[in-house]
Amino acid sequence: MFWKIYTPLYPLFLEGKNRFKIPIHELSVLALLRQGGTDKKLSIHELNLRFFDLNAIIKSDSYDFINLFAQMYHRFRGDGSSLATQPPVEFFLKANPDNHQGKPIMILDGEVRSLSDPGLLEGYAYESILIGMITRMRSHLLIHAGVVSRNGQGVILAADARHGKTTLVLELVRRGFRFLSDEMAALGRADRKVHPFPRSLRVRRGTLELTGFSEVAAGAPTWLGKYLLDIEEIKPGSLGEAVPVSHIIILQDPAEIRGMTQDNSGQEVCVLVDRQDEFFLDAVRQNEDVRDLRVDADGNLPTLRFRAIRANFVLSQIETLCREHQILVLDVTKGEKDHPTFKTPAALKSIPRSQASMELLNGFQGGYMSELVRTEFGGSSARLFMELSAIVGQANCYHLSVGPLHEMADLVCSAVGA
């Protein structure tokens, strides 16, 4: 199973209405935990991280969970002493279900979320904590995209999941590009550069084999079926630094493009949730933009499948409904297939900067929950678009129809002049 952040930008004015603050019982538990434990001598582990202008403190009774975060974000570790421009954000995960709700709970800055299925604990808690930090960040615009650089030129590679973004990033690193991120383009608002976001990569063995790095898998830790590897473990000396954005390349599935052209019923969307009920489904059906709604079972978990012309707009509404009904969104995919075939010849086509900026905007992380958007931009997507456009305003922009890996990498190298 694949968990990922998905908080579509539109509509910015929507907010979840079902938040609830910590009850007195949980406040007393947290007070005891801060003193070193409960009557059951429960050990509490703590991790301090620094994300640009934001300090984050993560606490849990699960050593394994804290260790997982430490492995993924060891390049972001801090001691909490560095100055930040805003108060630190605190998260607490109680994996032990011995509490008044009888199930694991997360407390994110005073908001309590319970997890109905303990099997979802690590994946959902990991993504929930990450999005909690991302929505509070103000110094950088975070876009769902890979980033590499060559000769001081920053190259943003934006794509939906399963379009080969991480694989292409690693192939370019093998060819001598510098690595900034395989998942997050961090655009500095002050210096207008794209900055490294060097979270450890989660990669399959097949990806490592395809890019010529299979030997690094030996002894590497795994999580949810993928290896966890720092980029310096994959290729030493390849971590890059902040650079101006010179190229924006949007990866697209050619089969999906043809299908959208031929079928005006919209794009296929799949939303994996932890549960559903008739009240929730009735609310979804009332959305006039949702077509051909059906529910499939993925193991024990339901998947909502529907079609929508404005997929990102509808997804933001579905996400809001899920929050109102206390339903967890575990995964979102778009398109008829899980992933492209990569058998069609790769092709590169120049596009206007305004079009590329709009497509990057769709990958803005934090969406309508972003404090930056709500406070500094007054909830205005137009103001966000203008700032994003100013940062990437000198970039050369392209659509890359995905195909065989070596063809895609050749086209990127040719565009960049590498």
CATH number at 283 reads 3.30.70.100
Note whether residue 227 is domain-resident.
yes
End-of-domain residue from the set 334, 357, 388: 334
Q: What is the CATH number of the domain that holds 165?
A: 3.40.50
Residue 172 and residue 52 share a domain? no
**pLDDT at position 241 over 80:** yes
Determine the structural domain holding residue 189 and report its residue range.
140-253+342-416
User: Angle at CA 78, nearest 5°, toward 371 and 217?
Assistant: 100
End-of-domain residue from the set 84, 103, 134: 134
Note whether residue 18 is domain-resident.
no
Q: How many domains does the chain have?
A: 3
User: Angle at CA 200, nearest 5°, toward 340 and 111?
Assistant: 95
Q: Average pLDDT for residues 363-385, to the nearest whole number?
A: 86
Span 387-397, pLDDT tens digits: 999 999 899 99
Span 281-320, pLDDT tens digits: 999 999 988 999 999 876 678 899 998 887 777 887 888 8
Long-range contacts of 200-205 (CB under 8 A, 24+ apart): 200/71, 200/72, 200/73, 200/74, 200/228, 200/229, 200/230, 201/166, 201/170, 201/227, 201/228, 201/229, 201/230, 201/231, 201/234, 202/226, 202/227, 202/228, 203/166, 203/170, 203/227, 203/229
Q: What is the band of 341 on the pLDDT scale with cuts at 50, 70, 90?
A: confident
Using a pLDDT cut of 90, give the percent of the chain over it: 46
pLDDT value at position 131?
79
Would you say 405 and 171 are in contact if contact means Cβ atoms under 8 Å apart? yes
pLDDT value at position 5?
42
Note whether residue 19 is domain-resident.
no
Q: What is the band of 21 on the pLDDT scale with cuts at 50, 70, 90?
A: very low
Report the distance separating Cα 223 and Cα 329, nearest Å.
Answer: 20
Note whether residue 2 is domain-resident.
no
**pLDDT at position 260 over 60:** no
Span 83-128, pLDDT tens digits: 667 788 888 988 877 766 677 888 877 777 777 666 677 777 777 7
Note whether residue 15 is domain-resident.
no
Report the distance separating Cα 383 and Cα 14, nearest Å.
Answer: 17
End-of-domain residue from the set 134, 159, 190: 134
Residue 228 and residue 199 share a domain? yes
- The Cβ-side half-sphere exposure at 322, using a 13 Å CA radius, reads 23
Report the distance separating Cα 345 and Cα 157, nearest Å.
Answer: 18
pTM for the model stands at: 0.81
pLDDT value at position 41?
56
Residue 297 and residue 241 share a domain? no
Residue 223 and residue 124 share a domain? no
Residue 241 and residue 153 share a domain? yes
Span 191-201, pLDDT tens digits: 999 999 999 99
Note whether residue 408 is domain-resident.
yes
pLDDT value at position 81?
58
Note whether residue 8 is domain-resident.
no
pLDDT value at position 4?
43
3-state secondary structure the chain: CCCCCCCCCCCCCCCCCCCCECCHHHHHHHHHHHCCCCCCCCCCEEEEEEECCEEEEEEECCHHHHHHHHHHCHHHECCCCCCCCCCCEEEEEECCCCCCCCCCEEEECCEEEECCCHHHHHHHHHHHHHHHHHCCCCCEEEEEEEEEEECCEEEEEECCCCCCHHHHHHHHHHCCCEEEECCEEEEECCCCCEECCCCCEEECHHHHHHCCCHHHHCCCCEECCEEEECHHHHCCCCECCCECEEEEEEEECHHHHHHHHHCCCCEEEEEEECCCCHHHHHHHHCCCCCEEEEEEEECCEEEEEEEECCHHHHHHHHHHHHHHCCCCEEEEEECCCCCCCCCCCCEEEECCHHHHHHHHHHCECCHHHCHHHHHHCCCCHHHHHHHHHHHCCCCEEEEEECCCHHHHHHHHHHHHCC
Burial call 300-334: b when 16+ CB within 10 Å, e when fewer: ebbbbebbbeebbebbbbbbbbbbebebbbbbbbb
For the ranges 64-73, 329-338, 384-393, the lowest mean pLDDT is seen at 329-338
Q: Average pLDDT for residues 45-62, to the nearest whole number?
A: 91
Residue 205 and residue 148 share a domain? yes
Residue 248 and residue 355 share a domain? yes
**pLDDT at position 26 over 50:** no
pLDDT value at position 258?
55
Residue 88 and residue 61 share a domain? yes
Q: What is the band of 82 on the pLDDT scale with cuts at 50, 70, 90?
A: low
**pLDDT at position 20 over 50:** no
Q: What is the band of 9 on the pLDDT scale with cuts at 50, 70, 90?
A: very low
Residue 181 and residue 229 share a domain? yes
Residue 230 and residue 145 share a domain? yes
Residue 156 and residue 293 share a domain? no
Note whether residue 46 is domain-resident.
yes
What angle, 0 to 180 degrees and rounded to 10, lies between the N-to-C axes of helices 353-362 and 381-391?
120
pLDDT value at position 116?
67
Its sign, for the CA torsion 316, 321, 323, 329, is negative
- Strongest mean pLDDT among 35-39, 49-53, 313-317, 329-333: 49-53
Q: What is the band of 186 on the pLDDT scale with cuts at 50, 70, 90?
A: very high
pLDDT value at position 254?
83
Residue 37 and residue 119 share a domain? yes
